[in-house]
Structure 1
């Protein structure tokens, strides 16, 4: 198997290269050029030339709406290769128009098969004309064993991680992680947290802290909100953490929150569940339907309902639910949604 990477640099995501599996080659077309710095014609020529050299019998294509996906699909149709679509799009994850859906149906029906994320994504592909027997799931997966093993190690030796931002304070905490952009709804989470803290003070039970991992254009705005709501003592922006540090944050957290207004899936939820955490997940995250049953692995909530989220946070931190049992259920559920499922589906 050969993985064709278009760009070796990315301004928006701080990806780390962690090696490659046996039997896999990674070919990078533009090793030192960030995304967006290459013209469409340059990208077209580079992809076409490289595929002509490789002559693959099948090409797995990530999505159907980008320029590179169109070039890859066109090459397959011209050269007789079998195109496989990978998609986690849902009907309700973006505004839709009749013309756009008509064009999308034409595109999707050019693919021979599809690997999708879960049930909502499968339903959407079927509505676009992909035959049900050519759709397989498991597209969105993480290394469950890595997060499970490493988070357990952090629980066994928490003192080793006290120098990491936000982990010196021994109080329990909610964890959230993602890019600081509007659709991730961290501003809504801060408002819900302020309501939650007020409830705790009135109810006379301990307030958990809130640790946010990530960075992005809304960082300054979030800091202003933290100050305006007087949350400085209880909320920590711990920055972007590398893959080796992430399990410590999951392992030492008491619950995970994913508050997105829109997310096609939400791989951070996979990471949290693999780490054995109970989860509070927005109903607008594509993973919610498949991964979260209310009262089992955690709870799903409406991301616009800050009072509702504050209530669930109170429920989680007050001892009214069995968090250990939920965490174990989360780990069991996600064990069926790992890289093995991705491999089998592909």
Structure 2
């Protein structure tokens, strides 16, 4: 396939996939070809784009390198009006969600969606994962659960064939201070922690809260937590030093193999996590202010309107901008501005 890619595209396949542009090119190349030999045309990529199907979280990650750029001095993580910001202008609380960087990223998502099944706009996690695990899609852009599920012989035919990498970047991020897209020699890489804030809660109506807490604490011990990561398909993904391989942690490939992993698959899977957490210069921050659920929900709807062709990417994000402005006003602009600044570490 690499020789055919070279003939068709005029250059070598960018197998490192350091940018979303690389991913798109490979997905477009493979889409519609019978690359798995089953007699049917196959997909370049599989995505879960259904409203309510968590797809907006993934646009968050995809769009970050188009929007978030590092501080030009030290430290690279310093937050200014123009650097290491994604959601709002930290001086005015004006939404940034329809910035040129966000729009270009949504244009990229739209192109990616056309390199897969036309049914993807209605897919939730299960359908998107199944397309990949059945060997029908080259790429799956999703949560880390896919890495462990790929090892489950009852769901997957790709064990021993898994590759993985951290979130790609782009060489063309938007610089809000200069008001233009940059043309970089190396990709702008923005690490991602979307999904890393899952935690157990105890209902105030629990009859035995102490017993609930004991169970939670037991699940959180290093021995049990690590077992949940490497042994089976629990939905508990890698996230601690005892899940990582040296030099970042203390885990061993043999532990994952004992849990049912192919050794090389485990190296790719855990390696992608390690790269994301340790080798990216900056990270995208979460939105942690009142009104976040409402903003996420309306954003999800407008993203779907763009993916399904009801609106252009610019129109969809312009509508998101207007809705977010209204939500900010409803909650109190001054109150949210103070909380937003605190949440991202911005000091006026």
Q: Which has the higher contact order (CA 8 A, sep 6+)?
A: 2
> TM range, normalised to the smaller chain?
under 0.3
TM-score scaled by structure 2? 0.23
Give TM-score scaled by structure 1 length. Answer: 0.23
